[in-house]
Every structure is written in structure tokens, then in C-alpha cells.
Amino acid sequence: MTTRYNDDDDSETDEEDIDGWMEIDDQIRFVPASKSSIEAALKNVSGLGNNSECAICLEKIKGEELAKSMPCGHVYHGDCIVEWLETSHLCPLCRYAMPIDESH
């Protein structure tokens, strides 16, 4: 049994799909958290067990490393979450929304 792929029928659909994705991309913008909220809301965390893993870099958070907790309770490497929040105001795991600057 041979299956044939027909390019003619799919070309119009592909163009429609691409146009749709471009429209969605125009609507989605990453908005950073405000600098003041990053400084005020993130709490230093210590005494984590060896089972803790940073969901951003996917590496273990060792006891001697600086970890930060978001208001939602999720814990990340301090550097990882600060860098993340400078791009997106949402928690990477639960989408908890940090405050943003009104200029965005």
C-alpha cells in the first residue's frame, strides 16, 4: 500500500495557518515584572532539601545556592527567576502574575 501526499490541497491551508499564527504572535507580548515587585516580592529561601529543582534551568538547587521564593510559593535559583521576571511577569509554573509597570 502506498500513501501519497498531495501538496496542492495543503498549500492554502498552510498559508492560512501561518497567517493565523502570525496574528496570534502579534497579540502575545512578554511583559516584564516591575523592578520594584521583583525586589519586594521575592524572598530568600534556605534549607532546601536535595530534591528541589529549579523549573527554569532544570538543575538541582543545592543547599549553598541562593534560592528565591515567589509569592505563589514556587522556588527557583535566585539568578534564574530574576532573569525570567525581567522578561515575563508570570510564574513559569503556575502563571501567578507579578505586578508590572503601567507603561507596558
CA distance 89 to 38: 9
What is the per-residue pLDDT across 35-78, written as a single tens digit (0 to 9) for each?
Answer: 999 999 999 988 676 678 999 999 998 877 889 999 999 999 99
Contact criterion met (CB below 8 Å) for 13 and 21: no
Specify if 40 maps to a domain: yes
The boundaries of the domain holding residue 88 are: 30-104
Specify if 67 maps to a domain: yes
> Residue 8: pLDDT above 70?
no
Largest CA distance in the chain: 65
Contact criterion met (CB below 8 Å) for 82 and 38: yes
CA geometry: angle 29, 19, 9, nearest 5 deg: 150
Statement: the pTM of the whole predicted model exceeds 0.85: no
CA distance 59 to 54: 6
CATH code for the domain of 54:
3.30.40.10
Q: Three cell numbers at 5?
A: 501526499
Specify if 3 maps to a domain: no
Question: Mean of the pLDDT values across residues 18-31?
Answer: 66
Number of structural domains in the chain: 1
